[in-house]
Amino acid sequence: MPTAVNVAKQCLTAEAAYALEEAANVARRRGHSQTTSLHAVSALLSLPTSVLRDACARVRNTAYSPRLQFKALDLCLSVSLDRIQSGQTGSDDPPVSNSLMAAIKRSQAHQRRLPENFRLYQEMSQNQNSNSLSCVKVELRQLILSILDDPVVSRVFGEAGFRSSELKLSIIRPIPHLLRYSSPRGQQQPLFLCNVTGNYSEPDLNSPVRWGFSVPNRNLAVDSDHRRISAVFTREKGRNPLLVGVSAYGVLTDFLISLENRTDATLPAKLHGLTAVDIGSEISDQILVKFDKTYTDTRFRDLGKLAEQSSGPGLVLNYGDLRVFTDGEGNGSAASYIVSRVSELLRRHGRRVWLIGATASNEVYEKMVRKFPSVEKDWGLQLLAITSFKPCLPHHKSSLMGSFVPFGGFFSTPSDLKLPFSGFKKEITGPVSSISDQTQSTLPPWLRMTTRTDLNQKTDAKCRPKKGWNQFAQTTPRAVLLHRPAQLNRSRPI
């Protein structure tokens, strides 16, 4: 059943409510009986400061001029709106259709699950305020993301040459203007994962080909995360950030390295000179391996002295992964004692001590709050959602390397390449033990094959290095064989 516009506006922020009003005006002018997602798209594209229009400008097809592609989008949208059957409308705004209301509900649910809103909605649920939970104020950006999930809207954008997935990514992680470089001919180059370098400079046509592949806007995204962390450090309350997300560990490591090397330009002047201290491994050892109360007391006492004697603003204590406090495998009493010592350290030296840590999901933080109800207040935690594309784990060799492209199946890692003659002396002098020989040893004497003569054994010994080379040639990629020594090229297959 359609929903009245005034009722739907109660779930939206002022900016999103204004966009919904404009969508209702579009539906009323066209004589439509309901306000649909297509009317919302038309209104969003016509706003003075349109987030959706800016996203379209960033992801548009560079093979066509901007004016031509936007004209195609306007044409496709107009045709789709003309297909909607007109109905009798009164003086009131056309009610919100079920599909558009479903998009509002989806954006409500998504916004409620965001890490930065966790504490607010947790307090609402504790107060059992169902009306507050059902009327979460949806921001305009979340509403646009939900509208782009509508199949009708995706089809319209697809006909104009846009992809809803690219538009959503552009809205979530907008690319600044400095990445919109142009070629010497004045035409913009399409933005791929492989042609954006770290310094974002003009492309050099004479430079050698770079075989590395980087994520666009990665450095800018990391700087943005560092800037958000620094902003939390400057607060009066909730000044200790907890990074939440799959990439949280990578961002945390980057931030601590920049503090140690004094290379973080995002820190405000009053925080220059912060000293990073990693206590995550010590906490993990005390909880998971063996708890030493005397060592723990001495360590926190030394940290307090170090904070007061530091020449800079103070210390940033990295306690690492929050999961170490919530896992049931460790010593529960040790975890409780360490949490209390951290709280005491903050009470005594709170203005000169900061905490920072990371967790991969919200569930770990919820366990932490349930296990230690006062930890959020005592530690002054502030959740920060990390959405930048940053590897969270150290790179390791993948067993599926050959299946990745480009060039993944042509080049092997150095540890896999062995010269064909590297062990031929050992092969010649060593006994020959084939699978058939091992099988014959278990057979009765009358079923065993006759043994080879010494002459045949010598012949096999001479040919064995060639067999090794043939095996090497079959298993080694062709690109590597091009670099084998000249004398190996004269080897003839057997």
User: Is residue 190, in this structure, part of any structural domain at all?
Assistant: no
- Residue 196 DSSP code: -
| Rounded-to-integer distance, Cα 135 and Cα 113, Å | 14
Residue 47 lies in a domain: yes
User: Quick one: pLDDT at residue 116?
Assistant: 60
d(CA 121, CA 135): 11
Which domain, by its residues, includes 456?
Answer: 401-489
**CATH number (domain holding residue 67):** 1.10.1780.10
Is 457 found in the same domain as 363?
no
* 148 falls within a domain: yes
Distances 162 to 82, 146, 260 between C-alpha atoms, Å = 21, 16, 44
Please give the pLDDT value at position 115.
Answer: 67
Q: Give the span between the Cα atoms of 9 and 19, in whole angstroms.
A: 10
Query: Listing from the earlier edge strand, what are the strands of the sheet with 381-385?
Result: 275-278, 315-321, 353-359, 240-244, 381-385
* Co-location of 168 and 132 in the same domain: yes
In the chain, the number of structural domains is 3
Separation between Cα atoms, residue 295 and residue 286, nearest integer Å: 9
Residue that the structure tokens 């460790």 belong to: 330
- Rounded to whole angstroms, how far apart are CA atoms 161 and 73? 8
Q: Report yes or no: 189 and 183 within 8 Å, Cβ to Cβ.
A: yes
The token pair at 380 is 């002054």
The residue assigned the tokens 């939970």 is 133
Do residues 358 and 262 both lie within one domain? Answer: yes
pLDDT of the residue at 67: 81
Query: In this structure, are 160 and 100 located in the same domain?
Result: yes
Instruction: Provide φ and ψ at 298, rounded to 5°.
Output: -65, -40
Asked whether residue 372 falls in the same domain as residue 406, the answer is no
Q: Tens-of-pLDDT digits for all 494 residues of the chain?
A: 788 888 888 889 989 999 999 999 999 998 898 999 999 999 999 888 888 988 888 887 766 777 888 888 999 999 999 888 887 656 678 899 999 999 999 988 888 777 666 666 666 666 655 454 455 688 898 999 999 999 999 999 998 888 888 898 888 876 544 344 433 334 444 433 333 333 333 333 333 333 333 344 445 555 678 888 988 898 888 899 999 988 888 889 989 888 888 776 677 888 888 889 999 999 999 998 889 999 999 999 999 999 988 888 899 999 999 999 988 777 889 999 999 999 999 999 888 999 999 998 888 888 999 999 999 999 999 988 887 655 444 444 343 343 444 444 444 444 444 444 445 444 445 554 544 455 455 555 544 555 444 445 545 555 555 555 555 555 555 444 444 444 444 444 44
Residue 117, pLDDT score:
64
Examine the domain organization and report whether 29 and 144 are in the same domain: yes
The pLDDT value given to residue 217: 44
Looking at the structure, do residues 154 and 63 belong to the same domain, yes or no?
yes
Q: Cβ of 330: how many Cβ atoms within 10 Å? A: 19
How many whole angstroms separate alpha carbon 483 and alpha carbon 196? 31
**CATH code (residue 278):** 3.40.50.300
Q: Are residues 173 and 68 in the same domain?
A: yes
Dihedral angle, C-alpha 395, 400, 403, 407, nearest 10 °: 40
Same domain, 349 and 469: no
Q: Could you give the CA distance from residue 491 to residue 468 in angstroms, rounded to a whole number?
A: 11
Residue 233: closest CA among 91, 379, 356, 89: 356
Q: Which pLDDT score, from 0 to 100, does residue 397 have?
A: 39
Clarify whether residues 378 and 422 are in a common domain: no
3-state secondary structure of 93: coil
User: CA 139 from chain center: how many Å?
Assistant: 23
Residues 145 and 22 in one domain: yes
Does residue 79 sit within a domain? yes
Q: Is residue 392 part of a domain?
A: no
Domain boundary among 359, 385, 411: 385
Would you call 438 exposed, middle or buried from its count of C-beta atoms within 10 A (0-12, 13-18, 19+)?
exposed
Q: What is the pLDDT of residues 401-418, one digit of tens each?
A: 434 444 444 444 444 444
Q: Can you name the residues that pair with 244 across neighbouring β-strands?
A: 359, 385
In a domain, 197, yes or no: no
12 assigned to some structural domain: yes
Residues 361, 451 within the same domain: no
| Domain-located, residue 73 | yes
Among residues 329, 359, 385, the one where a domain terminates is 385
**Structural domain ending residue among the three candidates 113, 147, 177:** 177
CA distance 429 to 412: 30
